[in-house]
Structure 1
């Protein structure tokens, strides 16, 4: 009888799971574990999601006769100890495709190998083999469109049903003390999340089903923050509650006007991980080094006002309040609030990226880094720095009746459809809301262009 360890990470599902399927086929029994390492789980909103996702996964495993053990500790010491104590012949994992995590996996694999134990790593979180999709000169793509054109034909979905039963071995008595549970946040600032979200594999599949009748409208509806025009699958994808290959397959087979557009958005996720793989320093440093001398402004009070949704710009404030209350922000609004911070306020994109990682339930290193560098103009295939979103123009175009603004900035609900986008233009003062933006729109744009001009000197 052979036993192995299956180490869940951000692959919290049972179906469409290459690593789990291989582990089940290769061994008589598995020890199923999740290792909670405090150093890995510093992002508050996503940790609140993780707690509930693990609960759902544990329930799904129990329904199949198995048990998930949530353990506290450093996986570099805990995983090898588990392998030795259980007599495991191998440890199975899904690749995370993040620089620090991959380096840690390599160290753990070396430790295990010294004891004759194999680490078996499989894919499943991505559709693209980053080392195989290259230009004709065998270099990585730096622009999304040619990357997507080259990568998409390589994407495949091999359906894998969830196992009907799970044969599981016991947790060794010597490691019972490592058992843990993830505590709910205190105070319970996450309560508003769960009016919107239900973590877990079943909920992810329901989200995908709900998308299909709306897919024909996706190309236009995805830009309108007041309607349910997006899939809201991002946190489910981040935690691996659903595989990107399942989404790709279902959407492609459904077809229709929106299928290609939605698949292109999956492509952007793939591109984010592709860039992180080939240029790992981009998570901390400007992809375009000319911005290393950008004179970013140090403005703690301004940053605080931005974070709290008190900039005096209704669309920006609505987005940041949605983020705090739901742990998520509409993608069109994400671009606007990021542009406002990096261009009008002149604050380093890394400070905005850090706030998103703290407050997003889909806090994903690759996507977050690519998105912020794209808007800031510092990244690969980025919007040019001189592309500066006017938040009022964006608001009037994509939220013309002010529905989204009124939901998240209740102070402005009584204003008319035009005034709600820019109360100061009509000379209106609203109790409890800034009388004017903390940065004048024209002056902020001029200052941003001046900072750009200074780089060329």
Structure 2
């Protein structure tokens, strides 16, 4: 009888799971574990999601006769110890495709190999082989469109049903002291999340089903923050509750212009990981080194006003309050609030990216970094720095009746449909809301362009 270990990470599902399928086929008995590691890069809002997602996964495993063991500690110590204590022939994982995680996995694999134990790594989080999709000169793509045209024909989906049964291996007695639970946050600041979200594999599949009847409207509706125009699959993808190949396959079969547009958004997620793979330093460094000399503005008070939706700019404040209440923000609004922080306020994109990682339930390292560098103008295939979103214009264009603003800014509900986008333009004073923006829109734009001009000298 051969014993194996399956180490769940951000692949919290049973269907369409190449690594789990391989593990089941390779062993008679399989110990199923999740290691709660403080250094794993799972931030506050994401941990609230993780707690519920693991609960759903444990239920699904239990229904099949297995048991998911949650243990806490350093995986570099715990995984080799588990393998030795159980006599496992191999440890199976899904690749995470993040620099620090991949380096850690390599160290664990080396430690296991020293004891004659294999580490088996499979895909399942991405559609693209980053080392195989290259330009004609065998260099990595730096622009999304040619990357997507080259990568998309390589994407494949082979449906894999969830296993009917799973073996229920016990945790070795020597590791019982590592057993843990993931506690709910105190105070329960996440309480607003759960009217909107339902973590878990079943909920992810339901989200995908819900998207299909709306795909025809997706190209336009996805930009309107007051309607359910996006898929909201991002946190499910982040935690691996659904395989992106299933989404691609189902949406492609559905067809239509909306399908092509949505698949392009899947492509942006792939591109984010592709960039991270080929340029791992872009996590913390400007992709374009010209911006290393950018004189970013450091003002903790202004940063806090942005974080908590107190800038005096309605669309920015609505987005930041949605983020705090739901752990998520509409993508169009994400671009606006990021542009406001980096351009009008002149604050380093890395500070904005760090706040998003703290507050988002879909705090995806690759996508978050690419998005912030794109808006800031510092990244690969980025919007030019001189492209500066006017939040009042964006608000009037994509939320003309102010429905999104009224939902998240109750103090402004009494204003008219035009005045609500920029109350200061009419000299309106609203109790409990800033009299004017923390940065004047025209002055902030001029200052941003002046900073750019200074870099060119």
- What range describes the TM-score normalised by the shorter chain of this pair? over 0.9
- CA positional deviation for 1:168: 2.9
Q: Is the 1:10–1:238 contact (alpha carbons within 8 Å) kept by the matching residues of 2?
A: yes
1:94 maps onto 2:94 in alignment: yes
Report the Cα distance in structure 2 between the residues aligned to 1:337 and 1:218, rounded to whole angstroms.
22
Q: How does 1:39-438 map to 2 (within 5 A)?
A: 39-438=39-438
Q: Contact 1:95–1:122 at 8 Å: present in 2 too?
A: yes
Whole-Å Cα distance in 2 between the matches of residues 285 and 41 of structure 1? 18
Query: In the TM superposition, what is the alpha-carbon distance from 1:38 to its structure 2 partner?
Result: 1.0
Counterpart CA distance in 2 for 1:167 and 1:182 is: 24
2 CA distance for matches of 1:119 and 1:174? 22
**Partners of 1:362 and 1:257 in 2: how far apart?**
26
SS of corresponding position for 1:183: coil
Following TM superposition, by how much is the alpha carbon of 1:254 offset from its aligned partner in structure 2, in angstroms? 0.6
Matched residue SS, 1:400: coil
SS of the residue aligned with 2:35?
strand
* Alpha-carbon distance in structure 2 between the residues aligned to 1:307 and 1:330: 16
Helix, strand or coil: the match of 1:276? helix
Asked if the contact 1:3/1:169 (under 8 Å) is kept, the reply is no
Please give the alpha-carbon distance, in whole angstroms, between the structure 1 residues aligned to 2:390 and 2:53. 38
Secondary structure of 1:191's partner? coil
Q: Hey, what does 1:15 align to over in structure 2?
A: 15
Counterparts in 2 of 1:366 and 1:41: CA distance versus 1, 3 Å: closer
- Answering whether residue 432 of structure 2 is matched by residue 453 of structure 1, we say no
User: 2 CA distance for matches of 1:256 and 1:196?
Assistant: 28
Q: Is the 8 A contact 1:8 1:34 kept in 2?
A: yes
State the 1:393 CA deviation: 0.4
Unaligned runs of at least 5 residues, structure 2:
none
Cα pair 1:252 1:260 within 8 Å, conserved: yes
Q: Which runs of 5+ in 1 are unaligned?
A: none
CA contact (8 A) 1:217 1:257 kept: no
1:62-117 alpha-carbon deviations (Å, 9 max, x no partner): 00000000000100010000000000000000000000000000000000000000
Are the aligned partners of 1:66 and 1:167 in contact in 2 as well (CA < 8 Å)? yes
Cα offsets for 1:8-53 (capped at 9, x unmatched): 0000000000000000011001000000011114510000000000
Determine the C-alpha separation between the residues in 2 that align with 1:38 and 1:51.
14
Q: Write the deviation string for residues 149-181 of structure 1: whole angstroms up to 9, x where unpaired.
A: 000000000000000000132111111111000
Give the distance between the partners of 1:25 and 1:298, measured in 2 at CA: 55
Distance, in Å, in 1 between the alignment partners of 2:235 and 2:194 is: 13
Moved more, 254-263 or 442-451: 254-263
Partner SS state of residue 218, structure 2:
helix
Counterpart in 2 of 1:25? 25
CA distance in structure 2 between the partners assigned to 1:183 and 1:41 by the alignment: 17
Q: TM-score, normalised by structure 2?
A: 1.00
For residues 51 and 61 of structure 1, the distance between their equivalents in structure 2, rounded to whole angstroms, comes to: 16
Q: Secondary structure at the match of 1:382?
A: coil
Contact 1:112 1:119 in 2 (8 A): yes
Equivalent residue of 1:79, what SS?
Answer: helix
Listed one character per residue, the Cα deviations across residues 119-143 of structure 1 (whole Å, up to 9, x for unaligned) are: 0000000000000000000000000
Greater than 6 Å deviation, 4+ residue runs? none
Aligned length: 457
Once residues 351 and 214 of structure 1 are traced to their aligned partners in structure 2, the CA distance between those partners, rounded to angstroms, is 35
Superimposed CA distance per residue, residues 361-400 of structure 1 (whole angstroms, 9 cap, x where no aligned partner): 0000000000000000000000000000000000000000
Deviation, structure 1 residue 256: 1.8
Q: Deviations over 1:254-308 (max 9, x none)?
A: 1122000000000000000000000000000000000000000001110010001
Contact 1:72 1:180 in 2 (8 A): yes
Q: Which residue of 2 aligns with 1:4?
A: 4
Q: Is the 8 A contact 1:3 1:88 kept in 2?
A: yes
Whether contact under 8 Å (1:287, 1:379) holds in the other structure is yes
Any idea what SS the aligned residue of 1:40 has? Answer: coil
Secondary structure of 2:192's partner?
helix
CA offsets 1:221-272 (integer angstroms, 9 cap, x no match): 0000000000000000000000000000000001122000000000000000
Once residues 138 and 321 of structure 1 are traced to their aligned partners in structure 2, the CA distance between those partners, rounded to angstroms, is 45
